[in-house]
């Protein structure tokens, strides 16, 4: 008997991922009249905000900035309840958007993409899911997110542990109760720093395993008053414009002076004034905060002083003080009561720099010095960032070249959006774009708009294939590296550099030229007829 081959579904555009990027891409492609399907591995839409449900999960960009700006009606009708939105509230918002713009029927849930192969013969892609379904598509958009392939603790024994284990990026949908339990949290990035205070409130005993002390600032979250909301809604257009033209996608006053030009009291007053205001105020206070180590040290020392003020035990405070990387070169965090949590008698800190993690045992966590017996382990150990979710799919371009081979020494791209030799493949907020160094919503909308406009431009010319040239890719990749090298970012062992994943090439993967400058560059390319892109119709 011969097996019947799965029928191939032919579409104009296939989008991978139904998070904030994928849903907006679907909306824009449909607006161009393209038959579009979104394939989503999760059992619901939402992307990051579907998966990351750990206690305390919330966005640390303000809700009224971390939201779509493409529809003034949507902007006006949706009400946020807090300055910083919780994960459930963002997920409700995403569902509202999908309902409002009729997007649900374009998404196939529970469908993980296994491979995507470009066909040189006719310039189209064959995309295969893990279940064996096949699609034939002209456009292929990877809207898979920068932080969606989680990583574990890179030590043996996780499967041996007899108690419960959790990863912040795959949190159960039902509430997890830590009451009366001895809990270990491994990892002190944004996820750990948000979860630890809430877990500490419940647990009988909490041990935090810290490899790198992180800089964190108080979120000072609060309910959003009707007046504040109405006021922002009135001036939304100008505010959005300012966000788009800014460096990080969050409007802040432009720095005019070096941190080293001003006397210490004035500098301290400046840092006090932005402390707890938002994620970027400390980094944007002076022109050289992120380019000069001495200038940066003034901000770093200010944060360390705050930690010493909050934490009662001087030794614990010193362990919590970051010293091995400049302020901001690992993603800084916003927290609610993180440092004060270490004043609880039931909370203990283990410095993995002094006593490295060696294994997970049946009873708990072992370091080079001791075994810590616990009931539950929470891994807040982060992600294979930026390239992990692209490498997880077998993507092959012209002549069958795997993307992972092309990126063996680190990602190269044109604008972080296209890779030469991979026609019609777009990576939303891909490596080489401002993405993770910006308010993601601002970057997502700009990327999706640019992709939709580029495709529309090609079709208007009668072309179906758009491909960045090798020269444009090289030029952009060099530019990303040069701008990165001008800053302090490469000095940190961060996930921006790929250094959190053993064996990953150490390359600064984000573009720090600013979202405003990036947008202006993209707009200019479009106005000039897309130099650096080759259009064709096989
Ligand atoms: O992950 P992380 P995350 N042994 O990589 C440690 C965004 N986000 O999930 O720094 C011991 O930052 C690791 O140590 P080290 C945001 O962009 C946003 O917290 O590599 N420890 C680190 O402490 C953020 O930056 C929001 O030395 C190990 C931690 O685990 C990004 O997502 C909320 C280890 C991982 O921290 C990632 O955040 C949450 C090992 N083998 C996340 N491996 C908001 O918007 C890793 N670690 C609020």
| Cα–Cα distance for residue pair 495/15, rounded to 1 Å | 25
134 and 191 co-located in one domain:
no
Q: Which of 189, 250, 494, 502 has the most ligand 1 atoms within 8 A of CB, as the residue to mutate?
A: 189
Residue from 211, 367, 492 to probe ligand 1 pocket by mutation (most atoms less than 8 Å from CB): 211
Q: Which atom of ligand 1 is nearest to the CA of 333?
A: 48
Tokens 């040239």 identify what position?
Answer: 469
pLDDT reported for residue 4: 60
Close Cβ partners of 73 (under 8 Å, ≥ 6 residues apart): none
Atom of ligand 1 nearest to the CA of 58: 48
Distance CA 404, CA 420 (A): 13
Question: Would you say the CB of residue 217 lies under 6 angstroms from ligand 1?
Answer: no
Indicate which residue's Cα is closest to atom 12 of ligand 1.
189
Backbone φ and ψ of 336, nearest 5°: -125, 95
In sequence order, the β-bridge partners of residue 2 are none
> With a 6 A CB cut-off, is 154 part of the ligand 1 pocket?
yes
Whether this prediction's pTM lies above 0.95 is answered by: yes
Distance between Cα 100 and ligand 1 center (Å): 34
- Distance, CA 115 to ligand 1 centroid (Å)? 28
Of 316, 350, 379, which residue constitutes the final position of a domain? Answer: 379
Same domain, 342 and 456: no
**Each residue of 513-530: pLDDT tens digit?**
999 999 999 999 999 999
Most distant pair of Cα atoms in the chain: their distance:
84
The total number of structural domains that make up the chain? 2
CB of 322 closer than 6 angstroms to any ligand 1 atom: no
Q: Look over the chain and give the mean of its residue pLDDT values, rounded to a whole number.
A: 97
Q: Is 352 in the pocket of ligand 1 (CB under 6 A)?
A: yes
Shared domain for 392 and 330, answered yes or no, is no
> Cβ distance 337 to 219 under 8 Å?
no
CA of 436 to the centre of ligand 1 (A): 13
Task: Tell me, yes or no, whether 372 lies in a domain.
Answer: yes
Residue 322 lies in a domain: yes
Residue with tokens 């997890």: 176
Residue 6 has pLDDT above 80, yes or no: no
Nearest CA to ligand 1 atom 13: 187
pLDDT at 42: 98
**Does the pLDDT of residue 2 top 80, yes or no?**
no
3-state SS of 418-461 is ECCCCCCEEECCCECECHHHCCHHHHHHHHHHHHHHHHHHHHHH
Ligand 1 in reach of 188 Cβ (< 6 A): yes
**Ligand 1 in reach of 191 Cβ (< 6 A):** yes
Instruction: Please state the rounded mean pLDDT for residues 417-438.
Output: 98
Q: What is the DSSP string of 17-73?
A: --SHHHHHHHHHHHHTT--EEEE-SSSSS-THHHH---TT-B-SS-TTTSS--S-HH
Tens of pLDDT, residue by residue over 472-500, are 999 999 999 999 999 999 999 999 999 99
In terms of Cβ atoms closer than 10 Å to its own Cβ (0-12, 13-18, 19+), residue 171 is: buried
Give yes or no for residue 3 having a pLDDT over 70: no
Which residues are registered as beta bridge partners of 466? 535
300-329 per-position pLDDT tens digit: 999 999 999 999 999 999 999 999 999 999
Q: Is the CB of 288 under 6 A from ligand 1?
A: no
Does 252 reside within a domain? yes
Is 426 inside any structural domain? yes
Q: State whether 295 and 272 are in the same domain.
A: yes
Question: How many whole angstroms separate alpha carbon 457 and alpha carbon 210?
Answer: 50
Domain boundary among 428, 447, 463: 463
CATH number of the domain to which 23 belongs: 3.50.50.60
Same domain, 299 and 230: yes
Return the C-alpha torsion angle 498, 499, 505, 511, nearest 10: 40
User: Considering just the CA atoms, what is the radius of gyration of the chain in Å?
Assistant: 23
Q: Which residues contact 271 (CB under 8 A, 6 or more apart)?
A: 282, 285, 298, 299, 302
Strands 124-129 and 134-142: antiparallel
For ligand 1, what atom is nearest to the CA of residue 379? 30
* Ligand 1 atom with minimal separation from the 191 CA: 19
In a domain, 498, yes or no: no
Write the pLDDT tens digit of every residue in 231-287: 999 999 999 999 999 999 999 998 999 999 999 999 999 999 999 999 999 999 999
Asked if residues 131 and 41 have their Cβ atoms less than 8 Å apart, the reply is: no
- Is there a single domain that holds both residue 283 and residue 401? no
| pLDDT of 1 over the 60 cut | no
251 and 181, same structural domain? yes
Q: Are residues 407 and 360 in the same domain?
A: no
Nearest ligand 1 atom to alpha carbon 381: 30
Q: Is the pLDDT of residue 164 over 60?
A: yes
Q: What pLDDT, on a 0 to 100 scale, did the predictor assign at position 411?
A: 98
137 Cβ closer than 6 Å to some ligand 1 atom: no
Residue located nearest, by CA, to atom 37 of ligand 1: 382
Token digits for 165? Answer: 């284990």
217 and 125 in a single domain? The answer is no
**Other Cβ atoms within 10 Å of 33 Cβ, number:** 10
In the block, residue with structure tokens 């499967």: 159
Q: How far is the CA of 445 from the centre of ligand 1 (A)?
A: 25
Last residue of a domain, one of 361, 379, 397: 379
Q: Are residues 350 and 406 in the same domain?
A: no
Is residue 88's pLDDT more than 90? yes
Q: How far apart are the first and last CA of the chain?
A: 37
Residues 156, 269: Cα–Cα separation, whole Å: 48
Question: For ligand 1, is residue 332 a contact (CB within 6 Å)?
Answer: no
User: Percentage helix, strand, coil, to 5, in the chain?
Assistant: 35, 20, 45
10 Å CB burial of residue 453 (0-12, 13-18, 19+) is: middle
Work out the average pLDDT over 362-382. 98
Q: Is residue 350 part of a domain?
A: yes
Nearest one of 21, 349, 325 to 185, comparing CA atoms: 349
| C-alpha torsion angle, residues 460, 464, 470, 473 (rounded to 10) | 60
What does the DSSP 8-state code read for residue 203? B
Q: How far is CA 426 from the centre of its chain?
A: 17
Nearest residue by C-alpha to atom 36 in ligand 1: 189
417 lies in some domain: yes
- Measured CA distances, 199 to 41, 178, 373, 379 (Å): 29, 7, 17, 13
Give the distance (Å) from ligand 1 centre to CA of residue 399. 37
Please tell me the residue having the least CA distance from ligand 1 atom 20: 500
- Contact predicate 67/90, CB 8 Å: no
Indicate if 256 and 391 belong to the same structural domain.
no
The DSSP string of 239-272 is HHHHHHHSSSSS--PPP-S-TTTS-HHHHHHHHH
Nearest-CA residue for atom 8 of ligand 1: 190
1 in a structural domain: no
| Rounded CA separation 270/293 (Å) | 18
Handedness of CA 433, 435, 438, 439 (dihedral sign): positive
Q: What is the pLDDT of residues 342-371, one digit of tens each?
A: 999 999 999 999 999 999 999 999 999 999
Q: Is 388 in the pocket of ligand 1 (CB under 6 A)?
A: no
| Residue (of 54, 315, 333) closest to 202 by Cα position | 54
Does any ligand 1 atom lie closer than 6 A to the CB of residue 189?
A: yes
- Looking at residue 7, its pLDDT comes to 87
Domain, as residue range, for 208: 158-379
Which one-letter DSSP state was computed for residue 497? Answer: G
pLDDT at residue 158 tops 90: yes
Mean pLDDT of 408-437: 98
Let me know whether 202 and 217 are in one domain.
yes
Residue 5: pLDDT above 70?
no
């Amino acid at each position: 008997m011969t097996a019947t081959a799965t029928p191939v579904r032919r579409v104009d555009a296939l989008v991978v991922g139904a998070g904030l990027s994928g849903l907006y891409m679907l909306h824009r492609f449909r607006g161009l009249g393209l038959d579009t399907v979104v394939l989503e591995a999760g059992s619901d839409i939402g992307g990051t905000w579907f998966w990351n449900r750990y206690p305390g999960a919330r966005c640390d960009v303000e809700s009224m900035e971390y939201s779509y700006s493409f529809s003034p009606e949507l902007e006006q009708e949706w009400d946020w309840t807090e300055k910083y939105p919780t994960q459930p509230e963002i997920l409700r918002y995403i569902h509202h958007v999908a309902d409002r713009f009729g997007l649900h029927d374009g998404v196939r849930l529970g469908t993980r993409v296994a491979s995507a192969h470009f066909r040189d013969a006719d310039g189209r892609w064959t995309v295969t899911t893990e279940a064996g379904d096949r699609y034939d598509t002209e456009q292929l958009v990877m809207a898979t997110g920068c932080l969606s392939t989680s990583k574990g603790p890179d030590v043996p024994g996780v499967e041996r542990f007899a108690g419960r284990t959790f990863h912040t990026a795959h949190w159960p949908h039902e509430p997890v109760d830590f009451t009366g339990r001895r809990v270990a949290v491994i990892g002190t990035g944004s996820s750990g720093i948000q979860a630890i205070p809430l877990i500490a409130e419940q647990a009988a005993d909490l041990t935090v395993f810290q490899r790198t002390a992180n800089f964190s600032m108080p979120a000072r979250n609060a309910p959003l008053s009707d007046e504040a909301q109405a006021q922002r809604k009135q001036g939304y257009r100008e505010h959005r414009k300012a966000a788009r033209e800014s460096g990080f996608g969050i409007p802040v006053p432009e720095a005019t002076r070096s941190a080293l030009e001003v006397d210490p009291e004035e500098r301290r007053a400046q840092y006090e004034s932005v402390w707890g205001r938002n994620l970027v105020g400390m980094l944007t206070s002076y022109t050289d905060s992120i380019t000069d180590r001495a200038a940066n040290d003034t901000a770093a020392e200010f944060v360390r002083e705050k930690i010493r003020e909050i934490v009662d035990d001087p030794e614990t405070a010193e362990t919590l003080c970051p010293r091995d990387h400049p302020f901001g070169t690992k993603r800084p965090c916003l927290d609610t009561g993180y440092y004060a949590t270490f004043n609880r008698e039931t909370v203990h800190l283990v410095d993995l720099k002094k006593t490295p993690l060696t294994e997970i045992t049946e009873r708990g966590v072992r370091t080079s010095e001791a075994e810590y017996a616990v009931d539950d382990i929470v891994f807040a150990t982060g992600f294979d960032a930026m390239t992990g979710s692209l490498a997880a799919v077998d993507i092959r371009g012209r002549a069958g070249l795997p993307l992972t081979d092309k990126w063996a020494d680190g990602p190269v791209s044109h604008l972080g959006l296209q890779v030469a030799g991979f026609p019609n493949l777009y990576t939303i907020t891909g490596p080489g774009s401002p993405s993770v160094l910006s308010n993601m919503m601002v970057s997502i909308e700009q990327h999706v708009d640019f992709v939709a406009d580029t495709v529309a431009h090609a079709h208007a010319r009668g072309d179906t294939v758009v491909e960045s040239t090798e020269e444009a890719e090289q030029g952009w990749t060099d530019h990303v590296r040069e701008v990165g090298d001008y800053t302090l970012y490469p000095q940190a062992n961060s996930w921006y550099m790929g250094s959190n994943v053993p064996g990953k090439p150490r390359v600064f993967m984000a573009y720090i030229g600013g979202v405003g400058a990036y947008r202006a560059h993209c707009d200019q390319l479009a106005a000039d007829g897309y130099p650096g892109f080759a259009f064709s119709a096989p």
